[in-house]
Amino acid sequence: DTAVSQTPKYLVTQMGNDKSIKCEQNLGHDTMYWYKQDSKKFLKIMFSYNNKELIINETVPNRFSPKSPDKAHLNLHINSLELGDSAVYFCASSKGGLGAHQPQHFGDGTRLSIL
């Protein structure tokens, strides 16, 4: 019954590796997001998709590549992981075409630690 689910919950890996985080929502929402929350709890948007179309692509290194196979799924692939990538990554979703004007529902987060 989880509304927005992310896997894995924890990810510990070494610098230089490539990893993926998956996100699925069963709320029927049209818009999905990836956020990065750093150690100071600052929550910053990375990407936003509306009906599988990329809407927002913030100044994120191109090592980060989102993919939305359908409007219920949004995955994040990260190449050549760096120490600075250590953070909690949250997936979120909202209904309707005007995503930012609607409540956003967050997943439980993926805690990424780079050794």
Partner 1 sequence: QQPVQSPQAVILREGEDAVINCSSSKALYSVHWYRQKHGEAPVFLMILLKGGEQKGHEKISASFNEKKQQSSLYLTASQLSYSGTYFCGTDLPSNDYKLSFGAGTTVTVRA
Residues that bind partner 1 (CB under 8 A): 31, 40-45, 48, 50, 55-56, 90, 97-109
Least separation in angstroms between CB 4 and partner 1: 8
* Exposure string for 7-32, b = 16+ CB within 10 A, e = fewer: eeeebebeeeeebebbbbbeeebbbb
C-alpha R_g of the chain: 13
Least separation in angstroms between CB 41 and partner 1: 5
Q: 51 or 80: whose CB is closer to partner 1?
A: 51
Q: 48 or 68: whose CB is closer to partner 1?
A: 48
Least separation in angstroms between CB 50 and partner 1: 7
Q: 18 or 38: whose CB is closer to partner 1?
A: 38
Which helix (H) or strand (E) segment holds residue 53: the answer is: strand 53-57
Short-list 78, 102, 83, CA closest to 92: 102
Q: 26 or 79: whose CB is closer to partner 1?
A: 26
